[in-house]
Each structure stands twice: as C-alpha cells, then as structure tokens.
C-alpha cells in the first residue's frame, strides 16, 4: 500500500505519468469535461471533497511550473482565489476568461472533478520538472 500522497489510484497514475508542460485540471462539480479528456471523478456529495484540499494534495505530489485560472474566480469567488494564491505562493498564476479556460481544458491529460460547488473553483496546473 502507498504510504504518502494521494491514495486514489487513477489520480496517482496520472501524476506519475505527467511530463514537462502537461496540464492537469482540478475542477468544481459543474465544469464541463470535453470528450476525449480523462475524467477522475472524486465527487462524493456537494462540497466533498473540496477544491482547495484537493489542490493541496495534488501539489504535494506534482511539480508545478505555472497555473491558469479564470479571471472570474477573483471577482465571484475571492476566497477560492486567495486560497489558490496561498497554495501556489511561488508559482506564476495567469488569468484568462472562463470561456478561454474551458477551451484550454481540452488539452489536459485529465480533469479531476471535485465536489466543490463554489463558482469558478477551477485551475489548470502545468507540470514542471524537478531538475
């Protein structure tokens, strides 16, 4: 049995297989998932698991060089945006429109669906390298 990090087998597999520049999306319960993009559905009930705790677990395993959020996040859900900034303290976070964000998700290796029901609680993490 795995000792640390995520115990979710599909999520662990995705993170272990990511290369430099690959994108992983962490999404709220309502973000549309494009056809052809792998879905890792963690949602159990509204709010569980939450977006920010899921982000923290993934950040403990994934080397991230940059991130993308929808500009609407800061306006509509400032608590989510502040949590993202705190979790990614030294990582550049770009902002795009929500429509651009949804278009970018089609390039992701996977989308991790949480039970989060806060609007715009979504992020794209771009994988970095550890060397």
Q: Annotated catalytic residue: which of 20, 44, 79, 107?
A: 20
Q: What tokens were used for 131?
A: 């060397």
Instruction: Write the DSSP string, 14-32.
Output: HHHH--TT-EEEEE-TT--
Query: Would residue 98 show up in a list of annotated catalytic residues for this protein?
Result: no
Q: In terms of DSSP bridges, do strands 23-27 and 123-127 run parallel, antiparallel, or are they unpaired?
A: antiparallel
DSSP annotation of 48 reads B
Which residues are known catalytic residues?
A: 20
């Amino acid at each position: 049995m795995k000792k640390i990090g995520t115990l979710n087998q599909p999520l662990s597999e995705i993170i272990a297989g990511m290369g430099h520049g690959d994108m992983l999306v962490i999404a709220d319960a309502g973000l549309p998932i494009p056809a052809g993009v792998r879905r890792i559905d963690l949602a159990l009930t509204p709010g569980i698991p939450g977006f920010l705790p899921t982000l923290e677990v993934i950040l403990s395993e994934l080397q991230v060089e940059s991130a993308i959020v929808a500009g609407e996040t800061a306006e509509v859900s400032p608590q989510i945006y502040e949590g993202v900034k705190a979790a990614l303290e030294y990582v550049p976070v770009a902002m795009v429109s929500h429509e651009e964000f949804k278009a970018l998700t089609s390039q992701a290796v996977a989308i991790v669906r949480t039970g989060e029901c806060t609007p715009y609680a979504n992020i794209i993490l771009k994988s970095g390298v550890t060397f």
